[in-house]
């Protein structure tokens, strides 16, 4: 298994084009991280889909092996989740665009450049998570696009100032606080738009298919957070770009993600037409 360390992020990829090798600056980076319990999920299941997508659009890929993690909302898990904020900040100093992808995400399609969903004057884009069973609507940071801009760094400052939030959402809860979102109760039930902060006007909203929850075959024993019944009535699109295996234990994630990685393209209606043009025309990105 190839392990990508947390070494400094480089600014270029080598592109082979005809008989010449060129160094080109990628438009951005796909960034992810996992601790020991999620490392196999990241390297064996998620990263191959990230690399395929990155090759299609010319992005760099940076994966970080975190030294520790935990389960649910314990302190080790919270610290691992909080690393996302530090890594986003670091990546933004090196790339004009950063696409954070949780290690429990599979990219199912590569026919849409996610950067096209970021408004030219906005600094970030997130998808909204709709959970009718919990009466909540909230941004989900499992797929998170940020542009290198002063407001992006100011927003990360505000997230860090909010600090790790109680409950299972150490990082995501702080993002909600920095946006001025109403978190609802201690479980985030009834979360919804609040008074807002100045950062809300600089936030674009991704199509829901860019962060779609995995709902098939969930049982309560698979989950560390929430209940399987809360996934049964979530709005879904038939052909999502990204499927997020949120709230599951590492073992259950690996099992379900393996099934989708092997057969999910057909199950999700992703046909051969989406394989056309996977390689950059006339060039092969070497990652």
Residue 275 within a domain: no
Residue 226 within a domain: no
| pLDDT the model gives residue 71 | 73
- The boundaries of the domain holding residue 177 are 13-208
Domain count along the chain? 1
Q: Which residue has the higher pLDDT, 227 or 274?
A: 227
Burial class, 175, CB count within 10 angstroms (exposed 0-12 / middle 13-18 / buried 19+): buried
Residue 247 within a domain: no
- What's the whole-model pTM score? 0.84
Above 90 in pLDDT, residue 16?
A: no
CA dist 29 and 19 (Å) reads 26
pLDDT digit string (tens) for 263-272?
865 444 333 3
Which of 56, 74, 40, 22 shows the shortest CA–CA distance to 257?
A: 40
Residue 162 within a domain: yes
Confidence bin at 24 (pLDDT 50/70/90): low
| pLDDT the model gives residue 4 | 45
CA dist 196 and 176 (Å) reads 9
Confidence bin at 72 (pLDDT 50/70/90): low
Residue 90 within a domain: yes
Residue 190 within a domain: yes
Above 60 in pLDDT, residue 114?
A: yes
Residue 62 within a domain: yes
Above 60 in pLDDT, residue 282?
A: no
CATH of the domain at 111: 3.90.550
Question: Which residues, other chains included, contact 19 with Cβ-Cβ below 8 Å and sequence gap of 6+?
Answer: none
Residue 279 within a domain: no
């Amino acid at each position: 298994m190839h392990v990508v360390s947390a070494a400094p992020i480089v600014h270029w990829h080598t592109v082979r084009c005809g008989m010449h090798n060129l160094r080109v600056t990628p438009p951005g980076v796909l960034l992810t991280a996992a601790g020991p319990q999620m490392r196999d999920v990241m390297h064996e299941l998620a990263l191959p889909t990230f690399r395929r997508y990155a090759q299609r659009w010319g992005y760099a890929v940076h994966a970080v092996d975190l030294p520790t993690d935990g389960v649910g909302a314990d302190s080790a898990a919270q610290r691992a989740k909080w690393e996302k904020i530090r890594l986003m900040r670091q990546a933004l100093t090196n790339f004009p665009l950063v696409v954070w992808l949780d290690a429990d995400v599979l990219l199912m399609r590569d026919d849409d450049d996610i950067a096209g969903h970021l408004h030219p004057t906005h600094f970030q884009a997130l998808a909204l998570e709709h959970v009718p069973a919990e009466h909540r609507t909230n941004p989900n940071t499992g797929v998170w696009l940020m542009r290198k801009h002063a407001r992006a760094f100011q927003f990360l400052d505000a997230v860090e100032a909010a600090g790790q939030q109680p409950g299972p959402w150490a990082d995501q809860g702080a993002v909600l606080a920095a946006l001025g979102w109403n978190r609802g109760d201690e479980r985030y039930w009834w979360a919804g738009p609040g008074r807002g902060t100045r950062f809300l006007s600089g936030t674009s909203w991704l199509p829901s298919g860019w962060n779609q929850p995995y709902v098939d075959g969930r049982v309560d024993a698979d989950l560390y957070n929430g209940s399987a019944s809360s996934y049964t009535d979530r709005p879904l699109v038939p052909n999502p770009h990204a499927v997020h295996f949120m709230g599951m234990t590492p073992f259950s994630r690996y099992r379900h993600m393996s099934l989708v990685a092997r057969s999910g393209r057909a199950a999700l209606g992703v046909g051969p037409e989406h394989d056309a043009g996977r390689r950059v025309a006339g060039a092969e990105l070497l990652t």
